[in-house]
A = this chain, B = another copy of it.
Amino acid sequence: MTGAVTRPMRADGRRNRQRVLEAAAALLAERGLKVQIEEIAQRAGVGVGTVCRNFSTKEALIDTVLAGMCEEMLEQARVAQADPDAGHAFTSFVANVADFQARHRVLAEEMATTVDMPTGAVKIKRALRHAVEDLVARAQDAGALRADIGPADLAMLFAGIGHAAALAGVDSVLRQRYLTVVLDGLRPIHPTPLPGIPLGFEELDRLRARGRRTAARVGGHRGDALEGPT
Which residues of the partner chain B approach A156 to less than 8 Å between Cβ atoms?
164, 167-168, 174, 178, 228
Interface size on A, residues (CB 8 A): 107
- Report if A181 contacts B (CB, 8 A): yes
A228 near B92 (CB under 8 angstroms)? yes
Complex CA–CA separation, A210 to B168 (angstroms): 11
Of the 9-residue stretches A1-9, A10-18, A44-52, A193-201, which lies at the interface with chain B?
Answer: A193-201
A99 to chain B minimum Cβ distance, whole angstroms, is 4
Interface residues of A in 175-230 (CB under 8 A from B): 175-187, 190, 192, 194-196, 199, 201, 204, 207-208, 210-211, 214-230
A78 to chain B minimum Cβ distance, whole angstroms, is 13
Copies in the complex: 2
Measured CB to CB, the nearest residue on chain B to A190 is B184
- Report if A54 contacts B (CB, 8 A): no
Q: In the complex where A114-B226, A190-B184 touch, is A32 in contact with B160 (Cβ < 8 A)?
A: no
B155 near A229 (CB under 8 angstroms)? yes
Q: Mark A140-172, 1 if CB is under 8 A from B, else 0.
A: 000000000101110111111101101111111
Residues on A close to B: CB < 8 A? 29-34, 58-59, 62-63, 66, 70, 73, 87-88, 90-92, 94-100, 102-103, 105, 107, 109-118, 125, 128-129, 132, 149, 151-153, 155-161, 163-164, 166-187, 190, 192, 194-196, 199, 201, 204, 207-208, 210-211, 214-230
